[in-house]
């Protein structure tokens, strides 16, 4: 009886020992050298593996930054949109390099084709995929640049930062947005753009990408940019350019003076997170107040100014402050 | 005027539907149902009704309160499962066991995988095997087919032909000695033998199979491959030693062979998707069935064989692709 | 007749509904304004040559080819160029086009307007190809591939057969059928010209068995024509697909990813053969075509000879108006046609029919769970597994889709037509094909 136990222990022990020896040599022989810096850099990264930096995952980004740091002594072109400046500063510290601060960005939806502004003329039936619908038809309301409202951007977002608003049929970005750019790629109509987040989240942008002439664009959508170039003329900072009947505001030059918003005849230019302005004589009420005061009425083109979820709260806070003062 | 609809082509749709297929299967099972009622009387009606009500009820409860999705008990799939389950039970099974069987079939084998179309195993068979293993006594005491004279009280029970042969051969008897004990081929065809409700009458089952072939609900590949394999395999054994192995016709007509081949193995959800794969599937079931019947511990092996082959269906689907157009290498110039 | 030929794999047989089969081709009145898109062919759009306000005659060149795979566009009407602007096309997208205000109907002088049959075959292949190219011919079956490109096989390939596609497997459509009955002789001459251009001595006209009058008529006409034969085919959708038609007529399989010329075949539609005849013998460019207007609720299902650029509305009016309960208008047949968003859309070179569907016919049925019945696999004419491809497309696994040969899908719609669970298989397949194609092209660029 004892023999059996002894034999079993010896046999299994021997097998174990043999395997350990083999493993030891295999591990030695096939060892791959990796720069320990890569691990250190990776630790600093958010581990979201979103691909927003252009590399397949955080590990690949870490490898690329370490390589770039060694070869070019600069991290130019390498930036983690999710982690933003803080993370890149950390990465810079690990690698012993100075990293230029970048302005935080956010995804912005440049379409205002709500059912009121851009009424549907036909009905789409089929799979809920913008990419498919884009290949099939020009859009329910006739504007071939409009948001299709089927949520490819929502599916693409890894951060729960973009949702469809069932009332407007348009996506809404909230403050979880890391500007990774996944939605920008997912949108078949190039409606989403990454723009500077702006001081206090304040932004001004043209909420339209319709490159048609004014008349056909306006025919389909009340708030389409008609390329009238009023905004271009009023802008003192050369921030606005018009190409193929479409205005574009360069966020690097824009000083958020809001002049363009006032002159836009179709309310295609949006301002978000600004304080409501005082009424003027020639303009009964500013666009913002209209939007906040009343629900959009069918006959008037009123954009939904509040796009960022937390903006609503900001407004409330500000309102409270005013009330408190009074 | 209406808004025009925009959708991708095709703009027309055939009149095929899941419902139509499911009720087609149910209709194909009608002859077998009638035969089982004829032979087993009120007991058969009790088992059928109870299985149907319990299955539909469990499907409804799970869809409504557990999954909280749309309730689709009217699509007929639960009904088909229920009838198949009833076919697999002896007519004198206690009612509470039938209800447990329905719960296992619907709850465990179907809904836990996500409902219709997602289950790996045939739900009715899972329930049958579950009951067989849990309640072996009740599940293997087969009432004699005595029609309405049985009533609802105790019926005389006996073994199935397969059971007789298995036991007899095990006890050292030869086939010719067993001959008087087992039913004749005519009796097999009509259904005058012991067995579960649905498996007794070969003619009724074949009738249902032909109906499904005609309605294109099933294709010939699985039944033919399965039965063909059984015939070939048992012929070889019988040819070697006709005294210790039963003949192929006996194997074909007794037990759940035809029920399995026509209604169980052809279940769309748990069978392979291509004709090539279906033939492999059928052959596999055939081989396994004979192995279990001849050398296994159980007299009947169809349900185990089908369940085992169900498990390898994903593999078969990976390995057997349809014949692709344009992948034939050479083009004969003189065609 | 024995067993009729057809293709080997898959196929469905939808209800034929050839409502307009007995309606003779009527010449439709000229439109008041013609809308002529510049991208009427597969490939690069054409470049306009006329200016705003210019007077044009019927048949005058409006735009030249914009690339190798491109065709010129000719004026279908005479009048004044009103605008060169974006106009709505069948998909609801705006596209460059020329709008002409119609004044009278003055044709170019070099077009022979007589109805006399001209059987002169005294042309060199180059002459024929040049004429076909200049006349702006494209495949009239709907794919609108420039015809002259097909007539110039790439080096290393020689054509053996020319197959004339008179299958018209799409339900409802009858324009090819009527054309064969009424212009059969011209089609035969066009076929002979195509044979000459391709230097082949065998031509097969494939016609499905649901058009017995066309089969007997065409058989009679080709009796004394050497090399041309008529092949009756079993009714099976999608027999009109190039690859399926080649399989059905000469039993050859076009290898995956290759063109029909790889097996020595060139397929041309009967409409194209007729247009070849007109281009070569009558010097008439392609500016009109036969269009079927049909639908269960349409009062007068008809076949019209229509000038390119005529708005769909005018065709529907000529068929006694749009029914009240119209839910969908399709440009093409019900299996592969495109739903159009507006009746302002003009007829183009590739429009074979306008199908008006009733409201109750125009909606998809509720999608159910896949029961893995594999009917989609059985009916797929390319031997693919639509259920699998649609699932991987839905999940975004385009590498698997590529391995499972998603790019071979011909988008015939048989799978979705037959699916008992009403799953929009083809929607997902298109999506997957689109994305997989983009991935493959991207790889080509980087490699």
The three-state DSSP-derived secondary structure of B162-228 is HHHHHHHHHCCCCHHHHHHHCCCHHHHHHCCCCCCCCCCCHHHHHHHHHHHHHCCCCCCHHHHHHHH
- Per-state percent for chain A, helix, strand, coil, to nearest 5: 40, 10, 50
Q: Which residues of A touch C86 (CB under 8 A)?
A: 212, 216
Show Cβ contacts of residue C359 under 8 Å, excluding neighbours closer than 6 positions.
B2, C325, C326, C327
Spatial separation of the C-alpha atoms in residues C378 and C253, rounded to whole Å? 18
| Among A51, A119, A138, the residue to mutate for chain C (most C Cβ within 10 A) | A138
Residues pairing with C36 in the sheet: C98
Residues of chain A that touch chain C, judged by Cβ-Cβ distance less than 8 Å: 121-122, 125-127, 129, 131-132, 135-139, 142, 144, 212, 216
> pLDDT band at residue C446, thresholds of 50, 70 and 90?
low
Spatial separation of the C-alpha atoms in residues C102 and C98, rounded to whole Å? 12
Residues making up chain C, counted from first to last: 447
Does residue C383 surpass a pLDDT of 60?
A: yes
Average pLDDT estimate for A202-221: 89
Q: Which of B3, B4, B8 sits opposite A136 (nearest CB)?
A: B8
Does residue A289 surpass a pLDDT of 60?
A: no
Chain A: touching chains (3 or more CB pairs < 8 Å): B, C
Q: Which of C86, C94, C431 sits opposite A127 (nearest CB)?
A: C431
Q: Residues spanned by CATH 3.40.50.11540 within chain C? A: 1-28+117-363
CB C414 within 8 A of CB C429: no
The encoded tokens of residue C380 equal 């797929």
- Number of CB atoms found within 10 A of residue A174's CB: 16
Spatial separation of the C-alpha atoms in residues B241 and A23, rounded to whole Å? 55
- Number of CB atoms found within 10 A of residue B136's CB: 11
| pTM summary value | 0.85
Q: A36-95 maps to which CATH number?
A: 1.10.15.40
Residues pairing with A269 in the sheet: A206
Spatial separation of the C-alpha atoms in residues C179 and C276, rounded to whole Å? 14
Spatial separation of the C-alpha atoms in residues B329 and B323, rounded to whole Å? 13
Interior angle at CA B95, CA B89 and CA B99, nearest 5? 80
Does residue B241 surpass a pLDDT of 90?
A: no
**Chain segment A117-167, per-residue pLDDT in tens:** 888 888 888 888 898 999 888 888 888 899 999 999 999 888 889 999 988
The encoded tokens of residue C269 equal 């539609």
Question: What pLDDT, on a 0 to 100 scale, did the predictor assign at position B335?
Answer: 35
Show Cβ contacts of residue A163 under 8 Å, excluding neighbours closer than 6 positions.
A154, A171, A172, A174
Average pLDDT estimate for C21-39: 90
Is the dihedral angle over the CA atoms C336, C340, C343, C344 positive or is it negative?
negative
Higher pLDDT, residue C78 or B193: C78
Average pLDDT estimate for C202-223: 91
Question: What pLDDT, on a 0 to 100 scale, did the predictor assign at position B58?
Answer: 94
Q: Which residues of C touch B18 (CB under 8 A)?
A: 368-369, 371, 420-421
The residue ranges of every structural domain in chain B are 18-138, 160-319
The three-state DSSP-derived secondary structure of chain C is CCCCECCCCCCECCCCCCCCCCCCEEECCCCCEEEEECCCCCCCCCEECCCCCCEECECCEEEECCCCCCCCEECCCCEEEEEEEEEECCCCCEEEEEEEEECCCCECCCCCCCCCCCCCCCCCHHHHHHHHHHCCCECCCCCCCEHHHHCCCCCCCCCCEEEEEECCCCCCCCHHHHHHHHCHHHHHHHHHHHHHHHCCCEEEEEEECCCHHHHHHHHHHHCCCCCEEEEEECCCECCCCHHHHHHHHHCCCCCCCCCHHHHCEEEEEHHHHHHHHHHHHCCCCCCEEEEEEECCCCCCCEEEEEECCCEHHHHHHHCCCCCCCEEEEEECCCCCCEEECCCCCECCCCCCEEEEEEHHHCCCCCCCCCCCCCHHHHHCCCCCCHHHHHHHHHHCCHHHHHHCCHHHCCCCCHHHHHCCCCCCHHHHHHHHHHHHHHHHHHHHHHC
Residues of chain A that touch chain B, judged by Cβ-Cβ distance less than 8 Å: 120-126, 132, 136-137, 140
Q: Residues spanned by CATH 1.10.15.40 within chain A? A: 36-95
Residues pairing with C80 in the sheet: C55, C101
Spatial separation of the C-alpha atoms in residues A57 and A60, rounded to whole Å? 6
Q: Which of B3, B4, B6 sits opposite A136 (nearest CB)?
A: B6
Cβ contact (<8 Å) for B8 and A123?
no
Cβ contact (<8 Å) for C14 and B12?
yes
Q: How many CB pairs under 8 A join A and C?
A: 52
Closest CA to C207 of C125, C269, C254, C151: C269
The encoded tokens of residue A84 equal 């933003």
- Number of CB atoms found within 10 A of residue A108's CB: 25
Report the DSSP pairing between strands C161-166 and C202-208. Answer: parallel
Q: Which of A120, A121, A125 sits opposite B7 (nearest CB)?
A: A125
Q: Which residues of C touch A136 (CB under 8 A)?
A: 91, 338, 430
Q: A188: helix, coil or strand?
A: coil
Spatial separation of the C-alpha atoms in residues B2 and C327, rounded to whole Å? 7
Q: Which residues of C touch B8 (CB under 8 A)?
A: 424, 426-427, 430
**Chain segment C259-299, per-residue pLDDT in tens:** 889 999 999 999 999 999 999 999 999 999 999 999 998 99
Interior angle at CA C436, CA C430 and CA C438, nearest 5? 105
CB A257 within 8 A of CB A233: no
Cβ contact (<8 Å) for B274 and C382?
no
Mean pLDDT of chain C: 89
C369 touching chain B per CB within 8 A? yes
The encoded tokens of residue B46 equal 């009790």
- pLDDT above 70 covers a percentage of chain C that reads 99
Average pLDDT estimate for C232-236: 90
**Chain segment B5-37, per-residue pLDDT in tens:** 888 889 999 988 999 999 999 999 999 999 888
The encoded tokens of residue A150 equal 């089927």
- Compute the nearest-CA separation of A145 from chain C (Å): 9
Chain C: touching chains (3 or more CB pairs < 8 Å): A, B
Cβ contact (<8 Å) for A122 and B4?
yes
Cα→Cα distances C255→B10, C236, C243, C268, C419, Å: 26, 21, 9, 19, 27
Closest CA to C322 of C289, C297, C292: C297
Cβ contact (<8 Å) for B8 and C426?
yes
**Chain segment A56-103, per-residue pLDDT in tens:** 888 888 888 888 888 887 777 788 877 777 888 888 888 888 777 777
Chain A residue with CA closest to B10: the answer is A126
Q: Which residues of A touch B6 (CB under 8 A)?
A: 122-125, 136-137, 140
Spatial separation of the C-alpha atoms in residues B286 and B301, rounded to whole Å? 10
B7 touching chain A per CB within 8 A? yes
> pLDDT band at residue A248, thresholds of 50, 70 and 90?
very high
The encoded tokens of residue C350 equal 């590739």
Does residue C379 surpass a pLDDT of 60?
A: yes
- Compute the nearest-CA separation of C383 from chain A (Å): 23
Helix axes C175-182, C212-222, angle to 10 degrees: 40
The encoded tokens of residue B99 equal 């209800």
Cβ contact (<8 Å) for B6 and A121?
no
- Compute the nearest-CA separation of C155 from chain A (Å): 34
Show Cβ contacts of residue B175 under 8 Å, excluding neighbours closer than 6 positions.
B165, B169, B242, B243, B244, B245, B246, B247
Q: Which of C251, C381, C417 sits opposite B14 (nearest CB)?
A: C417
Show Cβ contacts of residue A100 under 8 Å, excluding neighbours closer than 6 positions.
none
**Chain segment B242-293, per-residue pLDDT in tens:** 888 888 888 888 888 999 999 999 999 999 999 999 999 999 999 999 999 9
Q: C1-28+117-363 maps to which CATH number?
A: 3.40.50.11540
Q: B143: helix, coil or strand?
A: strand
Question: What pLDDT, on a 0 to 100 scale, did the predictor assign at position A325?
Answer: 40
Question: What pLDDT, on a 0 to 100 scale, did the predictor assign at position B159?
Answer: 75
- Phi, psi (rounded to 5 degrees) for A171: -75, 150
Chain A residue with CA closest to C90: the answer is A137
**Chain segment B45-70, per-residue pLDDT in tens:** 999 999 999 999 999 999 999 888 88
DSSP class of B149:
G
Q: Which residues of A touch C424 (CB under 8 A)?
A: 126-127
Does residue C361 surpass a pLDDT of 90?
A: no
Chain C residue with CA closest to B115: the answer is C369
Show Cβ contacts of residue A161 under 8 Å, excluding neighbours closer than 6 positions.
A107, A173, A174, A175, A176, A177, A178
- Compute the nearest-CA separation of B309 from chain C (Å): 16
Question: What pLDDT, on a 0 to 100 scale, did the predictor assign at position C3?
Answer: 66
Does residue A318 surpass a pLDDT of 60?
A: no
Interface of C with A in 48-107 (CB under 8 A): 86, 88, 91-94
Q: B133: helix, coil or strand?
A: helix
Residues making up chain B, counted from first to last: 335
Residue that is written with structure tokens 């009608």 in the block: B30
DSSP class of A32:
-
Chain B: touching chains (3 or more CB pairs < 8 Å): A, C
Question: What pLDDT, on a 0 to 100 scale, did the predictor assign at position A193?
Answer: 92
Question: What pLDDT, on a 0 to 100 scale, did the predictor assign at position C1?
Answer: 42
Spatial separation of the C-alpha atoms in residues C62 and C68, rounded to whole Å? 18
Closest CA to A85 of A66, A98, A104: A104
Is the dihedral angle over the CA atoms C401, C407, C408, C414 positive or is it negative?
positive
The conformational region for residue A78 under phi > 0 = left, psi -120 to 50 = alpha, else beta, is beta
Q: Which residues of B touch A120 (CB under 8 A)?
A: 3
Spatial separation of the C-alpha atoms in residues C88 and C77, rounded to whole Å? 19
Average pLDDT estimate for A178-188: 88
Residues making up chain A, counted from first to last: 326
Average pLDDT estimate for A163-177: 89
């Amino acid at each position: 009886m004892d023999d059996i136990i002894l034999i079993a222990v010896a046999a299994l022990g021997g097998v174990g020992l043999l395997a350990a020896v083999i493993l030891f040599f295999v591990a030695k022989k096939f060892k791959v050298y990796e720069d320990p810096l890569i691990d250190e850099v990776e630790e600093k990264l958010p581990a979201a593996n979103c691909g927003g930096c252009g590399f397949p995952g955080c590990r690949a980004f870490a490898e690329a930054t370490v390589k770039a740091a060694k070869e070019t002594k600069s991290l130019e072109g390498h930036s983690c949109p999710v982690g933003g400046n803080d993370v890149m500063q950390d990465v810079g510290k690990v690698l012993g390099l100075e990293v230029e601060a970048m302005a935080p960005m956010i995804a912005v939806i440049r379409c205002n084709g709500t059912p009121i502004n851009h009424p549907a003329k036909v009905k789409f039936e089929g799979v809920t995929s913008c990419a498919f619908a884009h290949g099939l038809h020009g859009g329910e309301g006739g504007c071939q640049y409009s948001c299709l409202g089927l949520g490819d951007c929502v599916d693409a977002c890894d951060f729960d930062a973009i949702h469809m608003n069932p009332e407007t049929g348009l996506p809404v970005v909230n403050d979880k947005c890391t500007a990774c750019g996944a939605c920008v790629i997912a949108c078949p109509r190039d409606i989403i753009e990454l723009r500077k987040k702006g001081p206090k989240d304040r932004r001004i942008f043209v909420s339209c990408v319709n490159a048609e002439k004014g008349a056909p664009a306006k025919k389909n959508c009340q708030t389409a940019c008609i390329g009238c170039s009023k905004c271009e003329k009023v802008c003192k900072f050369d921030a606005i350019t018009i190409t193929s009947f479409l205005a574009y505001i360069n966020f690097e030059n824009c000083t958020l003076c809001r002049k363009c918003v006032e002159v836009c005849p179709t309310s295609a230019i949006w301002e978000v997170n600004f304080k409501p302005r005082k009424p003027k004589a020639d303009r009964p009420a500013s666009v913002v107040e209209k939007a906040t005061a009343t629900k959009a009425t069918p006959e008037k083109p009123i954009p939904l100014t509040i796009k960022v979820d937390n903006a609503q709260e900001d407004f409330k806070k500000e309102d409270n402050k005013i009330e408190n003062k009074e | 005027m209406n808004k025009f609809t925009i959708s991708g082509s095709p703009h027309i749709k055939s009149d095929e539907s899941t419902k139509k297929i499911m009720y087609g299967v149910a209709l194909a099972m009608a002859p077998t149902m009638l035969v089982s009622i004829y032979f087993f009387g009120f007991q058969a009606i009790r088992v059928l009704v109870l299985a149907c009500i319990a299955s539909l009820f469990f499907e409804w409860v799970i869809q409504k309160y557990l999954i909280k999705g749309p309730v689709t008990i009217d699509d007929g799939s639960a009904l088909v499962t229920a009838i198949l389950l009833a076919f697999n039970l002896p007519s004198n099974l206690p009612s509470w066991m039938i209800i447990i069987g329905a719960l296992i079939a619907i709850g465990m084998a179907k809904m836990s995988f996500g409902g219709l179309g997602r289950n790996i195993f045939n739900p009715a068979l899972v329930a049958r095997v579950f009951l067989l293993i849990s309640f072996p006594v009740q599940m293997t005491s087969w009432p004699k087919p005595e029609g309405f004279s049985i009533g609802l009280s105790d019926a005389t029970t006996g073994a199935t032909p397969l059971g007789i042969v298995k036991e007899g051969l095990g006890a050292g008897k030869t086939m010719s000695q067993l001959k008087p004990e087992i039913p004749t081929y005519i009796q097999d065809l009509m259904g005058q033998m012991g067995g579960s409700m649905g498996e007794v009458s070969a003619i009724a089952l074949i009738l249902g199979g032909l109906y499904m072939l005609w309605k294109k609900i099933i294709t010939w590949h699985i039944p033919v491959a399965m039965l063909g394999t059984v015939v070939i395999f048992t012929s070889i054994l019988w040819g070697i030693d006709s005294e210790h192995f039963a003949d192929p016709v006996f194997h074909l007509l007794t037990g759940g062979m035809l029920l399995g081949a026509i209604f169980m193995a052809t279940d769309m959800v748990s069978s392979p998707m291509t004709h090539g794969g279906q033939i492999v599937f059928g052959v596999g079931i055939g081989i396994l069935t004979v192995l279990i019947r001849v050398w296994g511990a159980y007299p009947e092996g169809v349900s185990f064989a089908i369940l085992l082959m169900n498990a390898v269906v994903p593999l078969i689907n990976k390995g057997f692709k349809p014949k692709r157009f344009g992948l034939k290498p050479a083009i004969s110039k003189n065609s | 007749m024995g067993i009729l030929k057809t293709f080997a794999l898959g196929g469905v047989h939808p209800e034929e509904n050839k409502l307009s089969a007995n309606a003779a081709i009527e010449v439709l009145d000229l439109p008041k304004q013609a809308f002529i898109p510049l991208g009427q062919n597969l490939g690069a759009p054409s470049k306009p040559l006329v200016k705003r306000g210019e007077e044009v005659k019927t048949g005058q060149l409006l735009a030249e080819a914009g690339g190798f795979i491109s065709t010129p566009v000719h004026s279908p009407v005479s009048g004044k160029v009103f605008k060169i602007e974006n106009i709505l096309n069948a998909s609801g997208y705006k596209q460059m086009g020329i709008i002409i205000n119609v004044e009278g109907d003055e044709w170019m002088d070099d077009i022979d307007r007589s109805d006399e049959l001209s059987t002169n075959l005294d042309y060199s292949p180059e002459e024929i190809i040049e004429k076909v190219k200049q006349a702006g011919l494209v495949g009239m079956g709907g794919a609108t591939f420039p015809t002259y490109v097909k007539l110039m096989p790439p080096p290393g390939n020689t054509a053996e057969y020319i197959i004339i596609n008179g299958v018209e497997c799409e339900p409802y459509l009858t324009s090819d059928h009527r054309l064969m009955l009424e212009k059969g002789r011209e089609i035969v001459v066009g076929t002979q010209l195509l044979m000459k251009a391709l230097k082949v001595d065998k031509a097969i006209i494939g016609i499905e068995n649901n058009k017995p009058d066309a089969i007997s008529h065409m058989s009679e006409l080709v009796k004394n024509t050497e090399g041309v034969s008529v092949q009756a085919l079993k009714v099976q959708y999608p027999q009109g697909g190039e690859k399926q038609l080649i399989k059905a007529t000469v039993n050859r399989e076009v290898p995956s990813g290759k063109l029909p010329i790889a097996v020595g075949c060139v397929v041309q539609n009967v409409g194209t053969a007729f247009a070849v005849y007109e281009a070569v013998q009558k010097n008439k460019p392609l500016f009109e075509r036969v269009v079927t207007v049909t639908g269960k609720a349409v009062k007068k299902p008809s076949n019209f000879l229509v000038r390119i650029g005529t708005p769909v509305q005018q065709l529907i009016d000529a068929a006694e108006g749009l029914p009240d309960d119209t839910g969908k208008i399709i440009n093409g047949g019900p299996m592969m046609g495109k739903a159009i968003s507006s009746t302002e859309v003009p007829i183009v070179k590739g429009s074979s029919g306008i199908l008006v569907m009733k409201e109750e016919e125009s909606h998809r049925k509720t999608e159910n769970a896949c029961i893995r019945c594999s009917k989609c696999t059985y009916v797929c004419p390319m031997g693919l597994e639509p259920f699998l491809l649609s699932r991987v497309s839905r999940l975004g696994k385009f590498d698997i889709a590529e391995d499972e040969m998603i790019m071979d899908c011909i988008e015939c719609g048989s799978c979705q037509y037959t699916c008992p669970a009403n799953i929009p298989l083809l929607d997902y397949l298109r999506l997957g094909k689109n994305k997989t194609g983009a991935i493959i092209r991207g790889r080509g660029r980087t490699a």
